[in-house]
Structure 1
Amino acid sequence: MSTDEATRNKATATRLHDAVSTRDPEIISKVIDELVAPDALFHTPVPMGSTGAQALKQVWTVLLRAFPDIQVAVEDVIAEGDKVVSRNTVTGTHRGEYQGMAPTGRSVTYGEIFILRFEGGRIAEIWGVVDVLSQMRQLGAVS
């Protein structure tokens, strides 16, 4: 795997981040279709009944409904071989139903780390670790 390939993969990951940063469902959906393999494998909790690019679109539909002002700040990006790792800080205000919870109006800030594996220039596999406990604490779901 060349340095050029790692650089291209990092640029692709940045394009995905830029798309989700628009908070525009049409742009997000279009870019996911372009950059994520239809059968991409997820090693994260994703909605049941969907896989690949479709699952990622569903995740963003849920997040945008729950946190319409969601922002993902990329703190670190490391690209090596066929993988790109990003450490992010997510912020948002709970304004819509989320995980069965009615909107609380509370703000949340939590961390996440994602590893993306690329194949043929597209995201083929995703691992994610999201600080859900911190998120749920801030929403008042757990003490």
Structure 2
Amino acid sequence: MASINPYLIFNGNCEEAFLFYQSVFGGEFPYLGKFKDMPPAEGNPVLSEADGNKIMHVTLPIGYGSVLMGSDSNSASGEVAFGQNVSLSINAKSKEEADKLFNGLSTEGTVTMPMNQTFWGAYFGMFVDKFGINWMMNFDENEK
């Protein structure tokens, strides 16, 4: 069965964001590589020290087979234009887990829909975290 692993692009604060996500989810980074760690290759631009220290790729397992991945943009790839077209949806295993993750991830962010029972029977909420990422939190007691 395929899984969806969200990939987030940042404008230089990927490491800060992933340290924050790690503080909420726990776990270790199986891989955290910086642009300066890439082997030299013909055609690759010479990076400034600042770009070299940005995150090229990071992974953080976040449970139930899902992996959160991310990267920084650099001067060669250009500035990231953030939009409102992506939300990350988490299906929690319990109401307590939903509350823990919702409260942790929404710290310093904006809650757009507090956790509450919905007309479709789920315990659900939405927020934008302090890095501008949209999240949806769901717990469905009737899910088999």
Is TM-score (shorter-chain normalized) higher than 0.5?
no
TM category, shorter: under 0.3
Give the alignment's TM-score, normalised by structure 1.
0.28
Higher helix residue share: 1
Length-normalised TM-score, structure 2:
0.27
- Structure with the greater alpha carbon radius of gyration: 2
